[in-house]
Structures are given as structure tokens and as C-alpha cells.
Structure 1
Amino acid sequence: MKRPRRLVTVSHSYVVSLNRRLANELARVGAGTWEVKAVAPRSFQGDLSPLLLKRDEGEAATLEAVRAFFSRSLHAFVYGPELRGCLAGDVDLVHSWEEPYVLAGLEVALLTPRRTPLVFCSAQNLLKRYPPPFAQAERFVIQRASGWVAWGETVKELLTTRPGYAARPARAIPMGVDVELFRPHRAAGEAFLREQGWDAPGPPVVGYLGRFVQEKGVPLLMAALDRLQTPWRALFVGGGPLDGALRAWASHHEGRVRIVTGVPHGDVPRALNAMDLLCAPSQTTPRWKEQFGRMLAEGFACGVPVLGSDSGEIPRTVGDAGLVLPEADVPAWTAALARLLESPEQRRELAARGRERAVTRFAWPVVARAHLDFFEEVLASR
């Protein structure tokens, strides 16, 4: 009987159990044909405090803990020497969820035995020139790799214009969403609204989920809402530097705006279900454009109609299941909001299309299957 193939997937993101969903779904979907080991740091410096690795019950992938050094810098951190042992032995493929230009990505490529295929992944969707040693790291990883995964179509299109990338097999695969956790649940949404002091029924709720920053389009959404003649309420969930400006603006719309910060990820489905529309008005800057728009996939899964700008990957994420609008066109956003606010039927249609898109394109088993299919192609091409 043929033994299952052995996959080792390495990522500093795996220090957070939620991010190990990819590794665990690879193990579940590949059960019987793939054995999956996830390599994660024992600890890693997060934005606010150190993150400690915790094992969850029922994880399908084997979890291997290694040390990580200099983790205050995503570009310069490296794994401990025990990583070599994780990658050695009878391994059929190594998957590196580290950018090819960072030192950890270089380390994985250096320590993966030459006989073992290596597949790395990237979310880089801007043309950049890296200084030494990061440019040299990228060049080595590309030459060493047997293939690469792009976290989006726009990432793949851009990177294939860079030296070396087009010479390797590549696959664009989106991020995943838990369609059981994120699902339509209107009662949960209504309870969330009551917690914000909206006890009585009112106009439809225009929602925003994410960082309160310029590049996420918070000022544009405020301007579009200012212009609306149709009755509306607005729910902003997130946090960030524009919190003060957002609250000052909300003071001019007494009773119509709620701003909720510090929402844990487990409560995000309730917040989304409290919205009648979800807006993602991201704005491209010289140093940033939207890489995927996870909140869009989560909104789709909750059956919330979605409006997104044409920044970065958003048009590919939305497809025909929502509305894509010019990122800097306030009148276009105002008009689109008015149409949807006035049409419950159109909102229901978009909600159904969004849920279908989440289940068929972004559900974790679908994303995991796409990875395993690509890994099989890489192995077959050797």
C-alpha cells in the first residue's frame, strides 16, 4: 500500500491557532493521501505583546514548535536551528508561508534538502526594489523553489513580471473563511445592535469593518454618507488612528452612527450580521493597495451585500457577487448606497450571491484542496 505523502508547512503566522486553519484543513482534506506537519514559533512578538504558541484540541495537522529570534522584525527574524530537523528526512514537499525576500523565507529555502520540492507563497502586490540582503534572498528562493502560490490574481500578475517568477509553476489561491462560523444569523445581528443601544427598528445599517485609517477609505465613506438623502444608520467596527476624527464626524449625526472598538474575532460574525450593507472603500497609495479584503469574504459568508472599491485585489475578490466602485469617486459611492438602501430586493439578491461565492470559492476546504492540487502538479512536473 502506498504511503501518504508528507508535507511540512512553515509559517510564523502559525503561532496563532486561527492561522493554523490552513495547515489543519490541508490535513483534513488530504487525509489518507497527505500527512501534514505545521512548524510554528514557540513565541513571536505581536503588535502589542508576545504571542505564545498554544495547541488546540482536535488539530488535524501535527504541530512542531521551534524557536524564533529577532521576531520584532518580520523581515529580519529567523527560526532556531531545530528547523533543520523539521525539514529533513522523508519529506515529499515543503510549503513556506514566508515571503521569499525575508530572511526566514531564505532560511527555509536553505535548510530544505535539495531533493525536496519547495513551494513558497507571497502576497506582494506592489513593485518594489529590495535592498541587500533581501534582494539576494528573493533571488535565491525563486531559483531554489519548485513553484509558488500567489495570495490573489493581482499578486500573480505582478510577480510574473519580476525576474525568475515566470519560470516557476504558480497558482493564485485566495485566503479562506470559515463558512460555519461566518454564516447568516440575523438574530445574532439584532442582538449586537441592541447592545449598541439600537433597540427599535430603524433604517438599514451601512457597515464598515477594519482599521480606521486613510487607506481603508474611512473618510470617503463618511463623505458618501454625508451626501445621502435616503435614511441610513452606520456601524463602524474596528479601530485605529482615525478614531477621533470618526467620532467627531459621528457627533454631527446624533443617533445614526455607532462606533465599536475592541471586538474580538469571535464576535465579528455577530457584527457583520448586524449590517445590511458592508463597505470596503479601500484607497490605493504609493506604498499600499488592498491585497485581498478578508472582511469581504467574511461578509459574503454572513450573507451581507458588499460594496468594494477597485483597489488591488478587491474586484477579483468581489467578482459578480457585489458592487465594485471607483475608489475615489464619492458621488458613485453615494449613488450606489442610495440604490441598495432603497431596494431590499437587490440586497437579498446580492446576499444570496455572496453566500454562494463564499461557500464555493473561499471556504477553507476549497482553499486547502486548491493548495493540494497545486502541490500534486508540482510533484508531477519533477
Structure 2
Amino acid sequence: MKILYVGHAYMVTNGHKKFSYLSEMRHEVSVIRPHKWYAPAWSRTLMPEPMPSGIRSREIKVFFEGKSGGYFYSPFVLLREVKLLKPDVIVIEQETFSISAFQISILAKLLKIPYITFSWENIKKDLGWRKWTNRIVVTNAAGAIAGNSAAAKIVQNDGFEGNVEVITQFGVDDSSFFPNENDKSESIAKFVYIGRLVEEKGIKSMINAFISLNEKNATLDIVGGGPLENYIRDIAQEYPQINFLGPVRHQEVPEVIRQYDILILPSIGSDSWDEQFGLVLAQAMLSGLAVIGSDNGAIPDVIQDKELLFRSGSEIEISERIKALLDAEYRKTKAKDLFIRAKREYTCYSVAKKSESYIKEVLE
């Protein structure tokens, strides 16, 4: 098949390995992405990073760069490049309510090319006038992929009548994230939180739960940066079992995460945001860790083990999950089960394989 992916998420190399696997499966993969992209979360402009060998990439000027829901491509250049690439199918990896998704859906319709949408958004929002463009994108799609089950339901409620396949967007590179071969201490359980230090991540509930246990055989390290840094520094000075390590570079995460036994993701969400996947969960699972997480957003989708979930913000339930995982044999069993699940569901290869299967199903 000749598959064309379109989206600004592929400015950086994080998601490129999926394309390499699809290429190895004898598919011709092309990518259209912006010529440059301002990333507000990082406060810097990204330039397109090189694609893997054999993957064709087209960089096109965009208008309203940096506005993920509002940007669109230079129309005539987009038309020319799609005609030259001659794809069998287009995968639009932009939210269905975005202007670029609408633009590409109209172009695909004109050129009689089937397209598949991708959605992360798991909170139904008031789209205003864009509810009409969203409906056009959704109802004319040949297929739909969602990053989580809640997003899949939203796409169906918006008018898509076919099967919405739940597949994460990129997958995790298991050549970087793999278990630590060295034996870990069974007498001390090392917990870690890795992520943004913001209120909606539920960090305060996690810290309070950990303190309430007053457990000498467990430590909690907090890795990341954000508005709660000073609060966490103060806590770490008062309680020796809690350590604040600050932010680490993306490349350092695999080595950092392997040093721990259990990862905690205690998100509580907000009115406008819930966890859409929890990438660090999949990374930890592939690294051989046990994980516990709240019932916020897509976290239950990823963990799929009630014994490892707790109600968002419930310090009592967090304490109970922590206490259970102090048992070395119990956490080894859970870690093994989670590792097997992650290898099956969340590696770059498994994401590529599932994507291939669904695209073939759509085109039949």
C-alpha cells in the first residue's frame, strides 16, 4: 500500500519508528508535515527532523503555525504534493475538529482518496461553528482511529458509523525502554513519578498518601518540572523518604526509569483536560516496572488491572496500592503481567502492525 500520513506531530523523531516498521512490511510510506512548527509547550520553534531511510517526507508552509486546531497548509502546494505522491489512503493525524483535518478531508474527497482520521481528544467540547467542519470530516471518513476509548466514543457520537479502532499514535521504542538486567533491592521499594509538576497531575494527593504511610522501606522520587517545583522542594526537605530530582532530558528517561520498581501516575484532570494516554505508563511497563494510576481519563485503558488503579484524588486508595506493592513477590508478578501487555500493545512494532491491519480492513 501507499500510505500518506499528515500531521505536525512528526516534526520530531519520536514517532518515526512506526514508519520504519510499516516500510519493512512492504508499504510505501510518505509524510506531509509543516515546514516549521512553533511548540508553545516548549516555547521554541521546531524544524523538521530527518525521516528514516525509505520514508518520503514533504514539508509544506502552514498558516497560523503553532495553533494545532487552527493551522492549515498552503492549498496549492498541498494539492500538488498529494497528486505527486498518489497515496492509496491518507491518515490524518490531527483532531477531527481542526482546520487542517477539514482541509485535507476536502482535498481527499476531491481526489477520490479514502482517508482515516485520528483522535486523542477525550473530553467533549463546545466546538462552536467548527462542529460543522468536524461533522464533515467524521462522516466522510473511510475509517477512524482513536488513541483511547473515550475519544473513540466521541468520534462515534459525532457521526462516524464504522468501527473505530483504538491504537495509540506512536508506540514506545522498546530498544530504549527495556528491563534493568541488574538485580534490584527487595528490601526497599523505589517509587517514582515522572512528568509535569502541575495541579491536574494529582501530585499533592500522591505525596500526602506517601507521607501518611510513614513507610521506612519505601522511597518516592519526583522527576519533572513545573509550577509545583517549590512546593515539592519544601516537602523533600522535610521528609527524607521523598526526593525531588528536577527535570531530565527526553533522552535520559529510559535510563532513569529503569532504576525504579514502581511508577505512579496520580492524575486528577481538570475541566478541560484528562489523561489521553499516559505515555510514561507504557514506558515504565516496558522497562519492567509495576505501575499504579488513577481512574482519570485513559489511565485505566492502559493499565487494565483494577488492583493497580485508585480513584482520582483518593489518598486512602493511593496508600493502599502503595502498601500492597511493598510486597516484592506481588510487585514482580504485576510487573511481569504489565510487561507482557505492553509488548503486545504499545511497542512501535505493535502499533505499526495494528495500523497496517486496520488500514487493510478499511480499504477492503
Q: TM-score surpassing 0.5?
A: yes
User: For residue 170 of structure 1, what is the aligned residue in structure 2?
Assistant: 164
User: For residue 89 of structure 2, what is the aligned residue in structure 1?
Assistant: 93
Residues 1:333 and 1:351: Cα distance change in structure 2 (over 3 Å): same
User: For residue 217 of structure 1, what is the aligned residue in structure 2?
Assistant: 202
CA deviation after TM superposition for structure 1 residue 114, in Å:
4.1
User: For residue 194 of structure 1, what is the aligned residue in structure 2?
Assistant: none
* Equivalent runs, 1:271-290 vs 2, <5 Å: 271-290=256-275
Residues 1:202 and 1:60: Cα distance change in structure 2 (over 3 Å): farther
Instruction: Give the whole-Å Cα distance in 1 for the aligned partners of 2:79 and 2:15.
Output: 23
TM-score (norm 1): 0.88
Instruction: Give the whole-Å Cα distance in 2 for the aligned partners of 1:27 and 1:282.
Output: 36
Q: Is residue 39 of structure 2 the alignment partner of residue 39 of structure 1?
A: no
Which residue, 132, 142, 146 being the options, matches 2:138?
142
Q: Which consecutive unaligned segments of at least 5 residues does structure 1 have?
A: 191-199
Which residue, 112, 121, 125 being the options, matches 1:124?
121
* Equivalent runs, 1:255-294 vs 2, <5 Å: 256-294=241-279
Identity %: 24
The residue identity in structure 2 corresponding to 1:240 is G
State the SS of the aligned residue for 1:211.
coil
Instruction: Give the whole-Å Cα distance in 1 for the aligned partners of 2:118 and 2:358.
Output: 12
TM-score (norm 2): 0.92
Instruction: Give the whole-Å Cα distance in 2 for the aligned partners of 1:69 and 1:20.
Output: 24
Instruction: Give the whole-Å Cα distance in 1 for the aligned partners of 2:324 and 2:360.
Output: 46
Q: Is the 2:186–2:328 Cα contact (8 Å) retained in structure 1?
A: no
User: For residue 188 of structure 2, what is the aligned residue in structure 1?
Assistant: 203
The residue identity in structure 1 corresponding to 2:87 is V
CA deviation after TM superposition for structure 1 residue 127, in Å:
1.4
Which residue, 233, 237, 240 being the options, matches 1:247?
233
User: For residue 56 of structure 2, what is the aligned residue in structure 1?
Assistant: 62
Q: Is residue 70 of structure 2 the alignment partner of residue 76 of structure 1?
A: yes
Q: Is the 1:74–1:102 Cα contact (8 Å) retained in structure 2?
A: yes
The residue identity in structure 1 corresponding to 2:62 is A
State the SS of the aligned residue for 2:195.
strand
Q: Is the 1:224–1:330 Cα contact (8 Å) retained in structure 2?
A: yes
Instruction: Give the whole-Å Cα distance in 2 for the aligned partners of 1:240 and 1:26.
Output: 37
Q: Is the 1:6–1:92 Cα contact (8 Å) retained in structure 2?
A: yes
User: For residue 179 of structure 2, what is the aligned residue in structure 1?
Assistant: 184
Which residue, 350, 353, 358 being the options, matches 2:337?
353
CA deviation after TM superposition for structure 1 residue 351, in Å:
1.5
Q: Is the 1:125–1:159 Cα contact (8 Å) retained in structure 2?
A: no
User: For residue 238 of structure 1, what is the aligned residue in structure 2?
Assistant: 224
Residues 103-160 of structure 1 show CA distances to partners (whole Å, capped at 9, x for unaligned) of: 111111122244210111001111112022x222202211321111111122212332
Instruction: Give the whole-Å Cα distance in 2 for the aligned partners of 1:308 and 1:334.
Output: 12
Q: Is residue 7 of structure 2 the alignment partner of residue 11 of structure 1?
A: yes
Q: Is the 1:233–1:257 Cα contact (8 Å) retained in structure 2?
A: yes
Q: Is the 2:197–2:225 Cα contact (8 Å) retained in structure 1?
A: yes
How many pairs were matched up? 357
The residue identity in structure 1 corresponding to 2:235 is W
Instruction: Give the whole-Å Cα distance in 1 for the aligned partners of 2:93 and 2:21.
Output: 15
CA deviation after TM superposition for structure 1 residue 355, in Å:
1.3
Supply the RMSD in Å over aligned alpha carbons: 2.1
The residue identity in structure 1 corresponding to 2:5 is T
Q: Is the 2:7–2:32 Cα contact (8 Å) retained in structure 1?
A: yes
CA deviation after TM superposition for structure 1 residue 60, in Å:
4.0
The residue identity in structure 1 corresponding to 2:270 is T
CA deviation after TM superposition for structure 1 residue 321, in Å:
9.1
State the SS of the aligned residue for 1:130.
coil
Q: Which consecutive unaligned segments of at least 5 residues does structure 2 have?
A: none
The residue identity in structure 2 corresponding to 1:143 is T
The residue identity in structure 1 corresponding to 2:82 is L
Instruction: Give the whole-Å Cα distance in 1 for the aligned partners of 2:319 and 2:133.
Output: 46
User: For residue 295 of structure 2, what is the aligned residue in structure 1?
Assistant: 310
Residues 243-270 of structure 1 show CA distances to partners (whole Å, capped at 9, x for unaligned) of: 111111112113x332223311111111
Q: Is the 2:307–2:321 Cα contact (8 Å) retained in structure 1?
A: no
Which residue, 48, 55, 75 being the options, matches 1:53?
48
